[in-house]
């Protein structure tokens, strides 16, 4: 009979691989959708009204490149724990920002996958699903912080195996 500990030890690296590649896809899609319109990304960040307009434009212009870099590093499986920790922090910031916009009654699109900014009259924000999505992504990032060793990762080739 196979023990549950053995099953978990066998499944965990594959589950981590799925989490890592899934997060990589999210970051690459999100960053890729915004990188062609850096001004629009800046307007989306500014719509949250959490920082001065100049700072929001700078953050909005930098964010797509950060997201793409995180996506590429996760796809390769390079510095997985560090990249997952940075991802977790960003997802937490996104959750707080969206919840803050919701609590303050702002009617904006988060711009998480391009676009963003003020919604047109008659359009309604979609804060609940955005927060739930980001909570799920935060859980995946947390998984990788705790268990960063995954299959098909550059990390595996760079790390010296621990002595038994």
| Structural domain includes residue 76 | yes
- What are 32-56's pLDDT values in tens digits? 999 999 999 999 999 999 999 999 9
**Which of 145, 144, 116, 151 is CA-nearest to residue 130?**
116
DSSP H helical ranges for the chain: 4-35, 38-46, 53-76, 80-103, 127-146, 154-158
Beta bridge pairs of residue 114: 112
pLDDT category of residue 159 using cuts at 50, 70 and 90: low
| Structural domain includes residue 61 | yes
| Structural domain includes residue 122 | yes
Distance CA 58, CA 41 (A): 9
- What are 129-158's pLDDT values in tens digits? 999 999 999 999 999 999 999 999 999 887
Tell me what pLDDT residue 122 has.
Answer: 87
Distance CA 162, CA 69 (A): 29
| Structural domain includes residue 161 | no
| Structural domain includes residue 3 | no
Chain center to CA of 119:
23
| Structural domain includes residue 157 | no
| 3-class SS of residue 106 | coil
| Structural domain includes residue 16 | no
Q: How many domains does the chain have?
A: 1
| Structural domain includes residue 17 | no
Query: Which residue range forms the structural domain that includes residue 137?
Result: 23-151
């Amino acid at each position: 009979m196979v023990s549950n500990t053995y099953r978990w030890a066998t499944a965990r690296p594959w589950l981590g691989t799925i989490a890592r590649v899934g997060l990589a896809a999210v970051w690459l899609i999100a960053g890729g959708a915004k990188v062609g319109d850096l001004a629009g990304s800046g307007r989306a960040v500014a719509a949250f009204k959490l920082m001065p307009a100049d700072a929001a434009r700078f953050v909005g212009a930098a964010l797509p490149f950060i997201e793409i870099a995180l996506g590429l590093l996760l796809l390769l499986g390079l510095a997985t724990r560090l990249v997952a920790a940075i991802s977790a922090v960003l997802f937490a910031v996104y959750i707080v920002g969206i919840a803050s916009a919701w609590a303050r009654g702002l009617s904006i699109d988060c711009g998480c996958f391009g676009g963003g900014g003020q919604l047109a009259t008659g359009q309604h924000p979609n804060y609940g699903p955005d927060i739930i999505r980001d909570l799920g992504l935060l859980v995946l990032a947390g998984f990788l912080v705790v268990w960063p060793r995954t299959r098909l990762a550059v990390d595996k080739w760079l790390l010296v195996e621990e002595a038994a």
